[in-house]
């Protein structure tokens, strides 16, 4: 659906201001300016965004409302159902078949462990494949892990766990080399060195990309490697409960989605790499996330006593598609701004430095569309601001949009919009779960034998992640989790695990007067009910 007449005047304003804007640099905000805009406009700061959770290890602490509602639900499986189904055995059970789960599996397998991956949909159906713009690593002569560290801490508002950040930035160059050794094709300069770009909040160009489908390229090689090493994968088999024995994690109860029956995997250790929770549509926002991003790992681990960190904060990617309606909330990669595109309001005026951190840019867009009334209304009743992608053609040369952003080009071309010639309308979209399970730098949770890696964890990114540090995080910590879990799992095979830890949980629900009839994990979002 090309732009209707409704948009024409505003697009003309964007085109009219473009020549002058090409040489216009928006000022960066001061530290105080950033704090002010976050407090006034970021959804995390809305009075009603979070509430005290009534049960579990974070009892009394503020948790995002939608997440608290899911965490307080009852379990979906009884002890007899859990015990009835077929059982398999492994040293290490990995729950989640995205980038982090696969990285963990490869390392655990390399360490000699018998590994099973159980995943909700198909291997690789995860947020990893949807990450577009790149992966950060300080591997250029003008950069260093120390500079990367400072950027990560600054982006996260200095709330980040310093030990986790240290691991992240120090392991980063090695992770990129490892990916290349597996066959991952990154963008290169004509001389064969890595091509790198800026992301929001980075002081150096350290974003390594495969055009604008970096996550898909990474997932391609990880999936191939898991398959070619013969690692066992159970697809359409989400975990619905952890198994425990003597206070240790000891496997999981799975739901076989083909038969609707429960099965179990008994394992010496378990890694949760279940990803995030964007499909809870926090604050009623659309999301860039995969359908499976429904907080399953948080639910399972929380019930088993694992504490959450930063459960009151989500990341809203500033540039979700606001039009056409068919792609509402899908990602318009930050790489677009890294290549030079500006954000402008309905009059074609730039209102924010485009590479401020995501929380700040998202807040500025919300301000422009609300208090300032300078957003562009959509026919479906939404609003947005323009991301002026055609600027890239002037900065990087004719044909650069199609060359560097082929996925983005196709996403809009389907609807008759040529992004090398026309701007796109954007508005913040739920993108990343900043918080999650508390882990040590060995990826251990507080439940012995239970490890976690990737978006299900909290602490690495503080209250706001920088672009390209998620693909990095899932691989750095996925690999560490694989090694740690292999070590533990080979020494601690369970004898007779079960779900008796739920007795305590059910008691807590009753004591708190929670008579919730719905069960969790929810596994998939239910859009029918909302309609």
Least CB distance from residue 275 to ligand MEZ, whole Å? 13
Looking at the Cβ atoms of 116 and 222, the one nearer to ligand MEZ is: 222
For the CB of residue 137, give the shortest distance to ligand MEZ in the complex, in Å: 13
337: annotated active-site residue: yes
Closest-CB residue for ligand MEZ?
133
Write the burial class of residue 110 (CB in 10 Å: 0-12 exposed, 13-18 middle, 19+ buried).
middle
CA 238 – CA 217 distance, rounded (Å): 24
Query: 440 burial class (0-12, 13-18, 19+ CB within 10 angstroms)?
Result: middle
Given 248, 290, 309, 337, which residue is catalytic?
A: 337
Q: What beta strand segments (E) does 217-306 contain?
A: 232-234, 239-245, 248-256, 261-272
Q: Which residues bind ligand MEZ (CB under 6 A)?
A: 131-134, 331, 333-335, 467-468, 470
State the catalytic residue, choosing from 198, 248, 317, 501. Answer: 317
DSSP alpha helix (H) spans, 345-430: 358-369, 391-396, 400-404, 406-413
Assess contact for 252 and 94: CB atoms under 8 A. Answer: no
Using the minimum distance from each CB to ligand MEZ, give the nearer residue, 58 or 464. 464
Pairing relationship of beta strands 115-118 and 232-234 according to DSSP bridges? parallel
> Toward ligand MEZ, which CB reaches closer, 85 or 406?
406
* Minimum CB distance to ligand MEZ smaller for 333 or for 363: 333
CB of 476 to ligand MEZ, least distance (A): 14
Cα–Cα–Cα angle for 384, 388, 390, nearest 5°? Answer: 145
Q: Is 317 a catalytic residue?
A: yes
Q: In this complex, which beta carbon is closest to ligand MEZ, that of residue 133 or of residue 278?
A: 133
DSSP class per residue in 74-97: BPS--HHHHHHS-EEEEEEEEE--
CB of 374 to ligand MEZ, least distance (A): 24
Q: How far is CA 11 from CA 350, 353, 386, 530, in A?
A: 14, 20, 8, 34
Quick count: other Cβ atoms within 10 Å of Cβ 276? Answer: 30
Min dist CB 246 to ligand MEZ, Å, is: 39
Q: Which residues are catalytic?
A: 317, 337
């Amino acid at each position: 659906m090309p732009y209707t007449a409704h948009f024409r005047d505003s697009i003309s304003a964007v085109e009219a201001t473009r020549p002058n804007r090409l040489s216009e640099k928006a000022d960066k905000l001061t530290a105080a300016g950033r704090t002010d805009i976050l407090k006034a406009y970021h959804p995390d700061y809305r009075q009603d965004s979070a509430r005290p959770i009534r049960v579990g290890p974070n009892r009394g602490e503020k948790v995002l409302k939608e997440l608290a509602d899911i965490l307080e639900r009852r379990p979906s499986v009884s002890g007899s159902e859990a015990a009835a189904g077929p059982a398999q055995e492994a040293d290490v059970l990995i729950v989640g078949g995205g980038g982090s789960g696969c990285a963990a599996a490869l390392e655990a397998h390399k360490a000699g462990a018998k590994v099973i991956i159980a995943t909700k949909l198909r291997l690789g159906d995860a947020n990893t494949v949807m990450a577009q713009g790149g992966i950060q690593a300080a591997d250029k002569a003008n950069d260093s892990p120390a500079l990367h560290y400072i950027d990560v801490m600054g982006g996260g508002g200095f709330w980040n766990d310093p030990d986790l950040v240290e691991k992240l930035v120090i392991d980063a160059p090695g992770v990129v080399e490892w990916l290349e050794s597996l066959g991952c094709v990154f963008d290169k300069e004509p001389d064969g060195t890595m091509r790198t770009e800026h992301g929001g909040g980075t002081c150096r160009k350290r974003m390594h990309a495969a055009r604008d489908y970096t996550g898909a390229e990474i997932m391609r090689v990880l999936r191939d490697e898991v398959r070619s090493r013969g690692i066992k994968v159970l697809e359409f088999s989400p975990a619905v409960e952890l198994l425990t024995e003597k206070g240790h994690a000891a496997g999981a109860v799975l739901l076989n989605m083909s038969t609707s029956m429960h099965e179990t995997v008994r394992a010496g250790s378990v890694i949760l790499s279940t990803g995030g929770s964007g499909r809870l549509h926090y604050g009623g926002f659309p999301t860039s996330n995969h359908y499976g991003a429904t907080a399953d790992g948080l639910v399972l681990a929380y019930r088993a006593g694992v504490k959450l960190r930063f459960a009151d904060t989500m990341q809203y990617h500033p540039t979700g598609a606001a039009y056409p309606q068919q792609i509402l909330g899908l990602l318009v990669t930050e790489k677009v701004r890294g290549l030079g595109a500006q954000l402008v309001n309905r009059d074609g005026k730039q209102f924010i430095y485009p590479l401020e951190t995501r929380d700040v840019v998202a807040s500025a867009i919300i301000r422009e569309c609300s208090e300032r009334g300078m957003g562009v209304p959509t026919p479906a009743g939404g609003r947005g601001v323009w991301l002026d992608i055609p600027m890239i053609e002037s900065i990087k040369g004719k044909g650069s949009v199609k060359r560097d952003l082929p996925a983005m080009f196709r996403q809009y071309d389907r609807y008759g919009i040529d992004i090398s010639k026309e701007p796109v309308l954007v508005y913040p979209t739920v993108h990343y779960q900043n918080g999650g399970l508390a882990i040590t730098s060995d990826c251990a949770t507080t439940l012995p034998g239970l490890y976690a890696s990737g978006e299900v964890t909290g602490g690495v990114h503080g209250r706001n992640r920088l672009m390209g540090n998620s693909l990095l995080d899932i691989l750095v910590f996925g690999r560490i989790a694989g090694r740690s879990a292999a070590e533990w799992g080979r020494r601690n095979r369970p004898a007779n695990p079960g779900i008796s830890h739920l007795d305590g949980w059910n008691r807590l629900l009753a004591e708190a007067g929670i008579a919730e009839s719905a069960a969790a994990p929810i596994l998939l979002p239910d859009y029918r009910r909302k309609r």
